[in-house]
């Protein structure tokens, strides 16, 4: 055996011995020290005299209590968990259930977290339609419902279709023919809760303003668009919801209509005309009818990704769409760390901003939401600068694109703009700012001190465009 073969042989023997030593050093008990065999279910929970409804699939518990019941200091009167497990709350604990609380059920190293929510009895109408065609606009603050119906429909025998909060009953009942010649009261009850809604039917043929959408009805819109549409029908006189198919087929006479508003939300955003066309085929199919409305002197309010429609309608000089676009989805929206706004310097006197201008960082601007707001930051804006698609200066953008800038982001991007009306066509206002937002996932946006400015700016826009219509 030569020296090289000897070395190889020695190394091989050494490796085998080392492997055997490693195996010998391992005993048969190589299980983890973690104890994960125990079950960790929450089987029952009672707060005061109220029993919780447990959903083990979602690890949630809902405890129903009467209207007006004080939930700030509720006693845990009964709790049961899997055998051998322990819960982080015990019988006798006093807990503030004015907000959701967590109960951790533990067995050894295994655990499950349950979210416990105490919910007051509710008796609300959540959806109201007449003859399954005419959608009621629900005003919870005043417990009233408004339904607009054409003059050709007999309102003495209309059939309501009513949806309520779970478990509630309503009288007159859903499906029962009702005479709506005069306002009708509908009483909703559920355990300790009672709400009386007054339903008013208003007859009109040609709306003064319309909210147009991709869905056949408001109820089928996404939540962002629903909030906008419901606000319009509630606060803009003689307003109506239309689908683009309604517009295309001429289902509703638009001879008296002054303004058409489209607010388009797409989860994750869109950034090309190809994506726009794929997302909104019925809007593309209705193009000739919308263009006819515009060329006959009607005005358009296009917000969020609906701003792409201006190019599709041939309103722009260069045919371009916003060159800087993005957005999150509703369920993964970001939480604002401070107030969000855009700037309106040199345009603070425009009717669009009546009553909402503030001083922000030494400049004139509009606050749209405060810290803690959940927002998708869906943006369709124009970046100005040679590094972003052809507009070196703001003047170059206005000259080549054919619009007037009215609002700006912090970097000078154009987030609000206008295609002015002239002697033949109506006006077009576009809002693509990320802080122009109607729906905040998982929160009550009405509690935000600046959120009302979204509605105020929209109201101003509709009033302004109405004055520009022929």
The pLDDT tens digits for 205-239 are 789 999 999 999 888 999 999 999 999 988 998 89
Question: How far is Cα of residue 249 from the mean position of the Cα atoms in its chain?
Answer: 29
Q: Which of 29, 68, 66 is nearest to 49 (CA)?
A: 66
- Tell me the C-alpha distance between 44 and 27, whole Å: 43
Domains of the chain: 42-120 (2.60.40.2340), 125-203 (2.60.40.2340), 209-468 (3.40.50)
Token output for 442: 């998982």
pLDDT of residue 56 exceeding 80, the answer is: yes
- Tell me the C-alpha distance between 408 and 381, whole Å: 9
pLDDT at 389: 65
pLDDT at 386: 75
Cα distances (angstroms) measured from residue 149 to each of 142, 206, 214, 239: 21, 10, 21, 11
For residues 131-154, give the mean pLDDT: 88
Task: State pLDDT tens for residues 2-54.
Answer: 333 443 444 444 444 444 444 444 444 444 454 455 699 999 999 999 999 99
The residues, ordered by sequence, that sit 6+ positions from 379 with a Cβ below 8 Å of its Cβ are 269, 324, 325, 326, 327, 415, 432, 433, 434
- Tell me the C-alpha distance between 435 and 249, whole Å: 34
Which of the four pLDDT bands, split at 50, 70 and 90, describes residue 340? very high
Across the chain, mean pLDDT equals: 90
CB contact at 8 A, 375 and 433: no
Which of the four pLDDT bands, split at 50, 70 and 90, describes residue 151? confident
Cα distances (angstroms) measured from residue 329 to each of 68, 181, 221, 376, 464: 35, 44, 15, 6, 31
Phi first, then psi, for residue 172 (nearest 5°) are: -60, 150
Task: State pLDDT tens for residues 363-383.
Answer: 999 999 999 999 999 999 999
Which of the four pLDDT bands, split at 50, 70 and 90, describes residue 462? very high
pLDDT at 17: 43
Q: Angle at which helices 223-235 and 452-468 pack, to 10 degrees?
A: 60
Residue 252: strand, helix, or coil: coil
**Tally of residues, the chain:** 470
Is the pTM for the entire model greater than 0.85?
Answer: no
Where do the DSSP E strands lie in 228-275? Answer: 239-243, 259-264
- Tell me the C-alpha distance between 285 and 287, whole Å: 5
Q: Which of 384, 386, 451, 373 is nearest to 417 (CA)?
A: 384
Look up residue 391 and give its DSSP letter. B
Which of the four pLDDT bands, split at 50, 70 and 90, describes residue 132? confident
For residues 126-144, give the mean pLDDT: 89
The residues, ordered by sequence, that sit 6+ positions from 463 with a Cβ below 8 Å of its Cβ are 351
Question: How far is Cα of residue 182 from the mean position of the Cα atoms in its chain?
Answer: 35
Block residue for tokens 């302004």: 464
Task: State pLDDT tens for residues 422-453.
Answer: 888 899 999 999 999 999 999 989 889 999 99
pLDDT of residue 327 exceeding 60, the answer is: yes
pLDDT at 285: 98
Percent of residues, the chain, with pLDDT higher than 90: 80
Tell me the torsion sign for CA atoms 129, 130, 134, 136.
Answer: negative
For residues 189-203, give the mean pLDDT: 96
pLDDT at 293: 96
For residues 282-311, give the mean pLDDT: 97
Residue 393: strand, helix, or coil: coil
Round to the nearest angstrom and report the end-to-end CA distance of the chain: 107
CB contact at 8 A, 260 and 468: no
Angle of CA points 272, 209, 146, to nearest 5°: 115
CB contact at 8 A, 240 and 347: no
């Amino acid at each position: 055996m030569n020296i090289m073969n000897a070395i190889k042989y020695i190394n091989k023997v050494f490796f085998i011995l080392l492997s055997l030593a490693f195996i010998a050093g391992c005993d048969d008990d190589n299980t983890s020290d973690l104890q994960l065999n125990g079950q960790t279910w929450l089987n029952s929970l009672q707060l005061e005299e109220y029993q919780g409804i447990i959903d083990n699939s979602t690890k949630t518990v809902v405890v129903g209590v009467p209207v007006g019941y004080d939930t700030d200091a509720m006693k845990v009167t009964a709790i049961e968990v899997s055998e051998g497990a322990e819960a982080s709350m015990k019988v006798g604990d006093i807990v503030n259930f004015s907000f959701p609380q967590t109960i951790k059920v533990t067995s050894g190293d295994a655990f499950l977290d349950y979210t416990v929510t105490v919910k007051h009895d509710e008796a609300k109408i959540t959806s109201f339609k007449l003859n399954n065609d005419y959608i009621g606009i629900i005003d919870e603050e005043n417990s009233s419902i408004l339904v607009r119906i054409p003059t050709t429909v007999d309102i003495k025998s209309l059939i309501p279709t009513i949806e309520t909060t779970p478990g509630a009953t309503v009288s007159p009942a859903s499906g029962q023919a009702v005479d709506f010649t005069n306002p009708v009261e509908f009483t909703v009850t559920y355990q300790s809760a009672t709400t009386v809604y007054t339903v008013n039917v208003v007859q009109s043929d040609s709306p003064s303003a319309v909210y147009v959408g991709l869905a056949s009805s408001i109820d089928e819109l996404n939540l962002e668009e629903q909030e906008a549409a419901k606000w319009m029908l509630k606060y803009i006189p003689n307003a109506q919801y239309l689908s683009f198919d309604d517009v295309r087929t001429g289902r509703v006479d638009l001879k008296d209509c002054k303004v058409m508003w489209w607010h388009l939300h797409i989860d994750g955003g869109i950034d090309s005309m190809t994506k726009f066309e794929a997302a909104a085929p019925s809007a593309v199919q209705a193009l000739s009818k919308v263009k006819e409305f515009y060329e006959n002197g009607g005005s358009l309010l296009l917000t969020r990704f609906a701003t792409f429609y201006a190019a599709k309608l041939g309103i722009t000089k260069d045919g371009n769409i916003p060159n800087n676009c993005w957005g999150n989805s509703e369920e993964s929206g970001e939480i604002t760390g401070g107030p969000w706004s855009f700037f309106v310097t040199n345009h603070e006197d425009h009717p669009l901003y009546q009553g909402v201008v503030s001083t922000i960082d030494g400049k004139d601007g509009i606050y749209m939401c405060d810290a803690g707001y959940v927002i998708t930051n869906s943006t369709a804006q124009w970046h100005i600068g040679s590094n972003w698609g052809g507009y070196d200066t703001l003047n170059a953008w206005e000259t080549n694109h054919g619009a007037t800038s009215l609002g700006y982001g912090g970097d000078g991007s154009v987030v609000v703009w206008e295609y002015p009306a002239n002697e033949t066509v109506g006006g077009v206002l576009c809002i693509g700012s990320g802080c122009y937002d109607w729906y905040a996932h998982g929160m009550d946006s009405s509690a935000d001190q600046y959120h009302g400015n979204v509605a105020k700016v929209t109201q101003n826009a509709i009033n302004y465009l109405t004055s520009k219509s022929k």
